[in-house]
Amino acid sequence: MTRKQASSTRRGGLSGVLHSKSKSSPLLSISLVLFVAILLILYACIGSGILGGRKDVISMAEDDFSCTFEVPSAIPVLKNAYGGSMKNVLHVGPESCSVVSKFLREGETEAWGVEPYDLDDADRNCKALVQKGIIRVADIKFPLPYRVKSFSHVIVSDALDYLSPKYINKTLPELARVSSDGIIIFTGYPGQPRAKIAPLSKFGRPAKMRSSSWWKQLFTETSLEENEAAVKKFEQTASKMSYKPTCQIFHLNSYH
């Protein structure tokens, strides 16, 4: 009788253990899945720079190969070179919110911007500038939405490089039309790789880096003259301020 009870106890014990394992198995699987998911989320955050990670590295790479990222660094040099004539500026190009915000923070020069591409991932500050009408999204292959000589200077970067000569011949006169004292063009050197500013579908063609002689020929064809005095003063100021541009910078007179 005792043996039967003992035997029954052992069978019950074994059955209980097996039952316990069957219960814990789904919990273990769920725990493993959650653990792997957490690891993947952490990896994604580090990779995208949310947790510090590689964000600075990515920004530095873009700074090296995008002329728009160079414009904020050139602003102090431009303001010193052009003096008080740089009263109100229009920036034309991607990341226009960043360039315009740089001008507005300093408070000495009024600034507006034209963004040639959709602002799908704009931050809160950029959206506020768009709502105020300071930044406009516009296709620069068509007439700009501004009156004649609305701005003292127009700065254009990472925009003309994506246009064919047919459209550049139309856009350059537009830049001259809305400016009164000059146009400043930031463009890459031939063979220089460029940062991926927007999907190809947004501007229709890859960037094309042109030589200095190509641009000068275009300026002649569109009746635009280089501002030699501004070029000289900019180079002198850049030397004093230890600024070394990584892009070609052209200084043009507006139409008179």
Token look-up 């960037």 returns: 207
Name the more confident of 77 and 26. 77
pLDDT score of 119: 78
Amino acid at 162: Y
pLDDT in tens, 232-247: 999 999 999 999 999 9
pLDDT, average across residues 18-36: 60
Nearest residue to 186 via CA among 249, 92, 104, 102:
249
pLDDT-derived band of residue 39, with 50, 70 and 90 as boundaries? low
Q: Which residues contact 75 (CB under 8 A, 6 or more apart)?
A: 99, 102, 103, 106
Residue 110 is classified by DSSP as E
Evaluate whether 125 touches 147 at the Cβ level (below 8 Å): no
pLDDT score of 4: 41
* Alpha carbon distances (Å) from 35 to 39, 41, 51, 197: 6, 10, 19, 36
pLDDT score of 117: 79
According to CATH, the topology of domain 59-252 is: Rossmann fold (3.40.50)
Residue-averaged pLDDT of the chain: 78
Structural domain boundaries in the chain? 1-53, 59-252
Element (H, E) at 77: helix 67-82
Neighbouring-strand partners of residue 113: 91, 135
pLDDT, average across residues 75-98: 92
pLDDT in tens, 121-173: 788 899 999 999 999 999 999 999 899 999 999 999 989 988 888 999 999 99
Ranking 141-150, 165-174, 202-211, 221-230 by mean pLDDT, the lowest is 202-211
